[in-house]
A and B are shown apart, each in its own frame.
Chain A
Amino acid sequence: MTTSLTFSNLACVRGGRVLFKGLNATLGPGEALLLTGPNGVGKSSLLRLIAGLLPAYAGKVTYDGRLALSDENPALDPRLPLAKALGYWAGMDGTGPGAVSDALDALDMARLAEVPVRLLSTGQRRRANLARVLASGADIWLLDEPGNGLDTASLALLERAIAAHRAQGGIVVVASHQPLGLTDAQALALEAAE
């Protein structure tokens, strides 16, 4: 099975308003897609739509591989130590504690493994959210504003993690305002429909 992600003629309607329509993309192993556009144009909705959390108004999404989504919600138990909170999802993904410590290493968070999630700073929580995606072992990463609240060093780690994932044949879809160092990424600029 080769990893792939395709959507064609995709449209999304939220609250009776057309957010976007006629979006197309085809991604193969190692490819990346960068979503850009002003606030409220539907970048997050597009990611949720690909993830299957929203129904498509028209068009369809097909993919081969497992998905992982990182949005603004941490989905980590605030009272648990970081490694355990991540371990819950890694367990469900069938990857286990080894993947969690690898992910924490990759994002330079190994020393925070025993710190309860509620004590993490905003930027650290953001990185924890990305660590959940790294530890999932998923083939297709959907990242919503992954660079928000990250310092320069963490941004570099994120770029390196994305590059490593692509080198292993993974697919990345990123919605971002900040320029991320994505080499030869396809770009999709969303603009207000109508």
Chain B
Amino acid sequence: MNAFLAILGRDLRLSLGSGGIGLPVVFFLLVATLYPFAVGPDGALLAKTGGGVLWVAALLAALLPIDRLIAPDAEAGVLDQYAVRGVGEEMIAAAKITAHWIGFGPPLMLAAIPASAMLRLDGETLAAVELGLLAGTPGLAALGVMVASLTAGLRRGGALAGLLMLPLAIPLIIFGAGSIGDFGGGAFRFLAASSLFLVAVAPFAAGAGIRALRE
């Protein structure tokens, strides 16, 4: 538990210090700003499609921090030092997922408020998007750490990470965007279930990835 908290604190400090939180948020807001330019200022159309756009933006924003989640620690020997101290790889992965979510989920939920104004979303839709992000971002964070650990040892891992992560995120985006139309219904439950599944599986997959990096 001590090691979990230490890793969590260090990763949070690193993501705060290196602009790791700002970048996905700015990207998310930028997409929400650009979308009305692309489809025109038709309020009804924006309000109808805006929720889905926010989900796509959140997914793409989740790709940005992937290359700094695992690879720098692997190169600097930090993961080796954890291993020498007997810290389990699954615990490292779980701590990294938690830290990544704290630096990614809540800031994105805050950014969704101004973004929804730019897309002319009404209050009810905004509430559905916020609830959806609350349920879905842990899954995105887990997926991010998992993919980061699998691609950390590769050259140009960043490009591959996108190809690997986006298909795996399909359930999140389908049920996330679907939950906007039917508030609190089946889609939202499926969103929460897929997110929970990813959070449950990712520490083991990412742990195996971290172990494989040492070979």
A-side residues, CB < 8 A to B, are 48, 51-54, 67-69, 71-77, 79, 88-89, 91-94, 132
Contacts and interface: CB of A to CB of B under 8 A. Distances in A.
B113 interface: no
Contact of A75 (B14, B80, B87, B214): B80
* Interface secondary structure of B, over-half rule: helix
B196 to A, nearest CB: 30
A69 B18 CA distance: 28
B6 A88 contact: yes
A73 B77 contact: yes
Contacts, number: 49
* Interface secondary structure of A, over-half rule: loop
Contacts of A71: 77, 80
Contacts of B6: 88, 91-92
A44 B131 CA distance: 51
A73 B214 contact: no
B84 interface: yes
Interface size bracket, B side: 10 to 19
Contact of A89 (B14, B76, B81, B215): B81
Given A53-B214, A74-B77, A75-B76, A88 B10 contact: yes
Given A52-B84, A88-B6, 12 more contacts: A48-B214, A51-B83, A53-B80, A53-B84, A67-B84, A73-B77, A75-B77, A75-B78, A75-B80, A79-B17, A92-B2, A94-B2
Q: Which 3 A-B pairs give the minimum distances between C-beta atoms?
A: A73-B77, A75-B77, A75-B81
Nearest to B87: A92
11 contacts: A48-B214, A51-B84, A53-B80, A54-B215, A67-B84, A73-B77, A73-B80, A75-B81, A88-B10, A92-B85, A94-B2
Residue among B3, B76, B77 with most chain A CB within 10 A: B77
Contacts of A74: 76-77
Contacts of B214: 48, 53-54
Contacts of B18: 79
Nearest to A79: B17
B83 A52 contact: yes
Contacts of B2: 92, 94
A89 B80 CA distance: 12
Contact of A53 (B14, B76, B83): B83
A79 B13 CA distance: 11
A135 to B, nearest CB: 12
Contacts of B83: 51-53
Contacts of B215: 54
A175 to B, nearest CB: 16
Contact of B3 (A73, A92, A132): A92
Contacts of A48: 80, 214
Interface in B113-162: none
Contacts of A89: 81
B71 to A, nearest CB: 13
Contacts of B76: 73-76
Contact of B81 (A52, A69, A79): A69
A154 B83 CA distance: 28
A36 B84 CA distance: 23
A91 B85 CA distance: 12
A132 B84 CA distance: 13
Nearest to A78: B76
Contacts of B87: 92
Interface string B64-87: 000000000001111011011101
B88 to A, nearest CB: 12
Contacts of A93: 85
Nearest to B7: A92
A52 B211 CA distance: 11
